[in-house]
Structure 1
């Protein structure tokens, strides 16, 4: 028993010649179809490359186009020629010019000899297929497709829409149950002859001429009528990405291909010299190879498909810039934002750096004048400068770059209503952001400001308006960040508890109690300051309740209000 090979070729003919010679040298007949779009000179050169092998022949040529019946017609002609000229072929293996044998031809012949009546072809009903593209699964069998999807896309789409609108449906020939599957199969002589000599073939061919991508359904459907034993799988290793395009194998996939134990792989890069040398040159005998198991590498391909489609979290590249709110994570790592803390506590960044035992605590990264990096640095990781103009050109990209370039180190920074506000929605919708806000704390520097009170009052009104808008964003239904908000009066009543919660969240493994609280700024007379703002016509609403006289830091904690039950 021998295995006959049918090859459909249109590019990289020198590589196709290598593969044809490999199979012919093992005693297998090979019939090659070459697309008529290949020039006569290239075709003649191809014939010369295989002229010394009488087992290699060429079938009638067709002009093949993706998605059309021409690929089926080319396959039919080549198979008919192989079956007629080589009665010793008991199985016919369909391959492309970009396929590469991964195991000796003798192993495939022995494998098929143990399964003389088995047809290997992926064949599943449309209801069970989840990989069809363009929404055309069952419709590819009930609509007509006279226009080329690639060359006449506008006509293709309009004609499909017209048929849908008019509710036009083609009738599937009696007895046929449409199936789909890979184009690359291995069928027994008996099944293939039954398909090609079916008395209903003219009517079946007429029907499939208007089916979309018939090379993925013609043999897959008819094999169910004529086969005695179908294994719905292909012996060819092939993988597709999320767009339905085939993965291309390169030299660095050598070990991956060996692990699959498959007989043939598609699609091989034409310049993969290492792969062609490794698999086509004579190999010393080794232990018997295992059953083909393409599933052994499925996990790697699934990760590759996900990586290509979604990218790495927080990494933005020119070649794949995601649509807004469709990113695979806006940033690459968790970070913390503090609003009002640096205004309420003296030297808060230095205290926080000591408390969390690591990480980088910056000042106001979005300060109007410059970027306040930790330690007063002017250039940060990734050559990020402290220039405000460059940062404000794209404030979101600035932050994502900063987080990406400092992976492995927790980043913390201060923020407030004085800062550039273009980053608010980004922070709010970033699941990696942990935002802690003490509302109204921006008024503490104004309380200590030497500026005339009318100037202070106008600035207070401006900052309160900005923070009110920001709080509305943080409390939005679209917020994904971890947000904590305290009024200033509530926070200073018991600052250690929220500070401990924040530190534990940043450094969950430290599990130590805070014993060195940060020093709070002097707030003596702050209540009178707020009252004066009210007297001047500006109503402070974000600070909470402060006594007009005395130091608010030593105010008695408010107890729980009693409930009156009637």
Structure 2
């Protein structure tokens, strides 16, 4: 009793010969199918290279194109030759030229000998598993697919669309229930011979020849008709990415493959010399005897798929440049945006840095330059303060700033005078904490010494810009944490907003309350300034209900004090 190996080969014939010799040296008969696309001269040289192996045969050749019937026909021809030429074979193991035995072949022989009636073939209905990728699950069994998806994709898609539009459906023969699974199986002699000698084989072959990807459903379906005992799993480690393409194993996957405890793995890179040297070896240096368990490394593959499809938040790469439905967050960590605070509070930036231990910038989207903290001109990641470079892609600028300074919270100022292209990105960023004093842009205008007509015109423009900004922040699409106070509300009771902000940024710095507060600019006469704007026809409604006569001493006397202030 032995195990027969059926190998489907189409490329890297030198590696296929190396693996075939490994199987043969362990006492396993080998039947090789070579794709008809391989030139005859190359195929004859391949045959001659293994002429010294008495238990190696070559089957009739077929054209094996992905997703077509040729792969099933090749498996049938090679299996028939195996059953005819080697009557002592009890199990037939289907492999490819890119497969690599990971454990001593004798372990596989012993494992199957202890399970003489068991077929190892992944077999599940389309309703039970979400494996199918590309929109064709049950339709692959009810529509016809005479055209190659790879070589005639236009005709493939149009013919599928035509069948859907006309409502055409195929009848599944003899009431069989289509099953799907990995094409790499290991069947007993009894089951395989029953499939190949089934009186209805011509009917099944005719039906499956027009099924989409029949090599993943033909044997998987018919084994259910003839098998005594099925274990719905493959003994071959075969992993696929999110697009349904097989993972390729390279030299640096050596330890990963050892952890799988599987008998065979595919798909191996032909130049992975380290893998071939490590596994095509003697029993003493091979893997330990244990139950094959590819699930042990499923978590690693799941993480790889997630990293490939979603990436790390705030990190872009050539293979995963951000797109609206695929991006995994604009930024990598939390940051704070302050609008109007530095206009009203003269020492706000140094005070915030001391109170929270964060890095506090000025207006990094200011029209002249990016105002980095402490007047720096270059930030981590070689970010320049050049406005031209920043404005070429403001979104990438913000993402890079947060990514390259991760581990240190960033805070910066923003206002209606700054580049407004970044507003939507910040508003939709869950990592952003946005605090706004609406109407605070009026304070620098109040302090300026320009003509009142110019002041009125600029105030109208700034209010229009800020109004649109606040509309975005209040929209349903905004995911940032937003707090908005009017200027009048903030001036009336500044301690509570400041304490709330500090608590959220760095609660450990304020367990006993604020010990100091930033200095507020002198607003004497500011109420009359706002009234003058109103008298000129410009209504500064974003400032709130600011009194015409404002006495800072009264505000200090009536301050609410929810926290202890030393």
| Pairwise same-fold verdict (TM > 0.5) | yes
Match of 1:542, SS?
helix
Deviation at 1:360, TM superposition (A): 1.2
- 1:453 paired residue number: 452
Distance in 2 of aligned mates of 1:89 and 1:297: 32
SS in 2 for 1:510: helix
Distance 1:85 1:310, change over 3 A: same
Residue 43 of structure 1, CA deviation: 1.7
Instruction: State the match for 2:404 in structure 1.
Output: 405
Counterpart of 1:290 in structure 2 is 290
Deviations 1:232-272 (A, max 9, x none): 00000011111001111111111111111000001111111
Separation (CA, whole Å) in 1 of partners of 2:559 and 2:403: 46
SS at match of 1:144: coil
36 and 286 in structure 1: CA distance in 2 versus 1, 3 angstrom threshold: closer
For residue 553 of structure 1, report the CA deviation from its aligned partner: 6.3
Aligned residue for 2:416?
Answer: 417
* Post-superposition offset of 1:515: 1.1
Shift in CA distance, 293/87, structure 1 to aligned 2, threshold 3 Å: same
Larger mean Cα displacement after TM superposition, 545-554 or 360-369: 545-554
CA apart distance, 1:330: 1.1
Once residues 90 and 263 of structure 1 are traced to their aligned partners in structure 2, the CA distance between those partners, rounded to angstroms, is: 17
Give me the whole-angstrom Cα distance separating, in 1, the residues matched to 2:337 and 2:325: 21
TM-score (norm 2): 0.96
CA distance in 2, matches of 1:325, 1:500: 37
Q: How does 1:83-122 map to 2 (within 5 A)?
A: 83-122=83-122
Deviation of the 1:483 alpha carbon: 0.5
Q: Deviations over 1:318-338 (max 9, x none)?
A: 332121253111111111000
CA distance, structure 2, for counterparts of residue 47 and residue 509 of structure 1: 75
1:112-156 Cα offsets, whole Å, 9 max, x none, are 011000000000011112010221111111111111111111111
Please state how far the C-alpha of 1:313 moved relative to its aligned partner.
0.8
Q: Are the structure 2 counterparts of residues 287 and 361 from structure 1 closer, same or farther at C-alpha, using a change threshold of 3 Å?
A: closer
Pairing 1:430–2:436 present: no
Give the corresponding residue for 1:563: none
Asked if 2 retains the 8 angstrom alpha-carbon contact of 1:118 and 1:231, the reply is: yes
Mapping 1:17-416, distance limit 5 Å: 17-284=17-284, 288-357=288-357, 359-416=358-415
Q: What SS does the corresponding residue of 1:422 show, helix, strand or coil?
A: helix
Q: Secondary structure at the match of 1:179?
A: coil
Q: Once the 2 structures are TM-superposed, how far is the Cα of residue 285 of structure 1 from its aligned partner?
A: 6.6
Shift of the alpha carbon at 1:556?
Answer: 8.2
Contact 1:492 1:553 in 2 (8 A): no
Q: Secondary structure of the equivalent of 2:47?
A: helix
Per the TM alignment, residue 558 of structure 1 is displaced from its structure 2 partner at its CA by 8.9
RMSD value over aligned CA atoms? 1.6
Q: Structure 1 39/554 Cα, relative in aligned 2: closer, same or farther at 3 Å?
A: farther
SS at match of 1:336: strand
Counterpart Cα distance in 2 of 1:546 and 1:185: 79
Q: Is the 8 A contact 2:259 2:296 kept in 1?
A: yes
Cα offset, 1:454, TM superposition: 1.2
Indicate the SS of the match to 1:95. Answer: strand
Q: CA deviation at 1:405?
A: 1.1
| Counterpart check, 1:491 vs 2:490 | yes
- 1:62-112 residue CA offsets vs partner (Å, 9 max, x unmatched): 111111111000000000001100111100000011100000100000000
Distance 1:113 1:217 in 2: 26
| Aligned partner of residue 316 in structure 2, secondary structure | coil
- Output aligned runs, 1:509-528, within 5 Å: 509-512=508-511, 513-528=513-528
- Partner of 2:531 in structure 1? 531
Whether contact under 8 Å (2:377, 2:385) holds in the other structure is yes
**Partner SS for 1:343:** helix
Please report how far the alpha carbon of residue 50 of structure 1 lies from its aligned counterpart in structure 2 after TM superposition.
2.1
How far off is 1:17 after superposition?
0.9
Paired position in structure 2 for 1:502: 501
Please give the secondary structure, in 1, of the residue aligned with 2:284. coil
Give the secondary-structure state (helix, strand or coil) at the position aligned to 1:33: strand
Q: Whole-Å Cα distance in 2 between the matches of residues 439 and 557 of structure 1?
A: 24
Query: Is residue 546–residue 552 contact of structure 1 (8 Å, CA) maintained in 2?
Result: no
Contact 2:247 2:267 (C-alpha < 8 Å) held by counterparts: yes
Name the CA distance, whole Å, in 1 between partners of 2:111 and 2:483: 65
Could you tell me which runs of 5 or more consecutive residues in structure 2 were left unpaired when the two chains were aligned: 561-566
2:421 aligned counterpart, secondary structure: coil
Kindly state the Cα deviation for residue 288 of structure 1 after the two structures are TM-superposed.
5.0
Q: How many residues align?
A: 559
Task: Provide the rounded CA distance (Å) in 1 between the counterparts of 2:404 and 2:286.
Answer: 48
> Retained in 1: the 8 A contact 2:314–2:399?
yes
Secondary structure, aligned partner of 2:119: strand
**Shift, 1:508, TM fit:** 3.3
Q: Which runs of 5+ in 1 are unaligned?
A: 561-566
